[in-house]
């Protein structure tokens, strides 16, 4: 066997090894993609501040439990500078649920530190992920999923922890029940939420035709309103095996 042939075999082996490593790393990266969660809703602030403005806090997760407040500016996690949402998610992927991280942040012009515990990626965000829906059992290339529908577009209100109706979708069950744009939904049955994703997740616990009771703030009045949920049909392609 000549030297050139041996060298070629060796090079092929190296390429195969590197390719296998790349596949392994991609798989691990995908597995870590949605593993940890801090529970912050953030806005980018001007680059010169090198941080993320805390726009809202998801109840029950690490940032809120640790004492971070709306209006704080997150600067770093465990010494790694955070200047964008992309950097935030990349840093969080390095940790496992229940690990503690040190947060560096600015509050009222003062640089401060605190320790927070990261959590597993929440179910309500997994539910709203289209790729996650495609993992559901089913046969054939495509299938229908029937979901309960409230028929509202909303914006987040972090104080109070609620959502404000901005508009209604076509044939909106909420509009038919008497709700108006500008009304604030404080809770649905016993569920509290401040994001559209949370609302969609809690709606997934109901079937079309179910009746929910919304606790609503409308002007200076707070009241309970019964809403019969409508039906939304989405088409999901089955994940190829």
Q: What percent of the chain has pLDDT over 70?
A: 73
Cα separation values, 46 from 41, 50, 52, 87, Å: 17, 7, 9, 15
Residues 102 and 184 in one domain: no
Cβ neighbours of residue 189 under 8 Å, at least 6 residues apart? Answer: 212, 213
The last residue of one of the domains, among 97, 121, 145, is 121
Q: What confidence score (pLDDT) does residue 232 get? A: 86
CATH of the domain at 148: 2.30.42.10
Quick: pLDDT tens for 76-129.
Answer: 999 999 888 888 888 998 999 999 999 999 999 999 999 999 998 887 676 655
Is residue 160 assigned to a domain? yes
Quick: pLDDT tens for 132-148.
Answer: 455 444 445 566 778 89
Residues 115 and 129 in one domain: no
Cβ contact 113:216 at 8 Å: no
The last residue of one of the domains, among 69, 100, 121, is 121
- 43-52, 107-116, 169-178: least confidently modelled range: 43-52
Is residue 25 assigned to a domain? no
Paired residues of 37 in beta bridges: 119
Residues 133 and 205 in one domain: yes
pLDDT over 90 (residue 224): yes
Residues 51 and 69 in one domain: yes
Residues 49 and 92 in one domain: yes
Q: Please, which pLDDT band fits residue 155 given cuts at 50, 70 and 90?
A: very high
User: How far apart are alpha carbons 118 and 38 in whole angstroms?
Assistant: 5
Q: Tell me how many domains the chain contains.
A: 2
How far is C-alpha 160 from the chain's CA centre?
A: 20
Is residue 6 assigned to a domain? no
Is residue 27 assigned to a domain? no
Is residue 80 assigned to a domain? yes
pLDDT over 80 (residue 190): yes
User: How far apart are alpha carbons 64 and 61 in whole angstroms?
Assistant: 6
Q: What confidence score (pLDDT) does residue 32 get? A: 46
Residues 75 and 140 in one domain: no
Residues 130 and 82 in one domain: no
The residue among 52 and 124 whose pLDDT is bigger is 52
pLDDT over 70 (residue 214): yes
Q: What confidence score (pLDDT) does residue 225 get? A: 97
Indicate the average pLDDT of the chain. Answer: 82
Q: What confidence score (pLDDT) does residue 139 get? A: 46
The last residue of one of the domains, among 98, 121, 144, is 121
pLDDT over 80 (residue 74): yes
Is residue 26 assigned to a domain? no
Q: Can you give the residue range of the structural domain that contains 143?
A: 125-237
Residues 114 and 138 in one domain: no
Residues 224 and 149 in one domain: yes
């Amino acid at each position: 066997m000549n030297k050139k042939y041996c060298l070629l075999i060796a090079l092929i082996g190296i390429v195969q090894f590197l390719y296998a490593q790349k596949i392994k790393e991609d798989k691990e990266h995908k597995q870590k993609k949605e593993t940890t969660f801090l529970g912050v809703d953030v806005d980018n602030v001007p680059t010169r501040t090198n941080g993320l403005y805390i726009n809202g806090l998801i109840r029950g997760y690490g940032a809120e439990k640790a004492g971070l407040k709306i209006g704080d500016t997150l600067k770093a996690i465990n010494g790694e500078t955070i200047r964008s949402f992309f950097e935030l998610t990349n840093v969080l992927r390095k940790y496992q649920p229940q690990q503690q991280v040190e947060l560096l942040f600015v509050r009222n012009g003062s640089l401060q530190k605190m320790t927070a515990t990261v959590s597993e990626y929440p179910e309500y965000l997994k539910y709203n992920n289209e790729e996650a829906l495609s993992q559901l059992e089913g046969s054939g290339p495509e299938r229908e999923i029937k979901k309960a529908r409230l028929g509202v577009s909303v914006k987040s209100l972090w104080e109070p922890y609620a959502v404000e109706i901005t508009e209604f979708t076509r044939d909106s069950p909420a509009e038919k029940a008497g709700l108006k744009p500008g009304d604030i939904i404080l809770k649905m049955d016993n569920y509290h939420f401040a994001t559209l994703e949370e609302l969609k997740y809690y709606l997934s616990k109901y079937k079309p035709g179910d009746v929910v009771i919304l606790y609503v703030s409308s002007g200076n009045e707070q009241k309970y309103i019964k809403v019969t949920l409508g039906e939304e049909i989405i088409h999901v392609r089955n994940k190829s095996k």
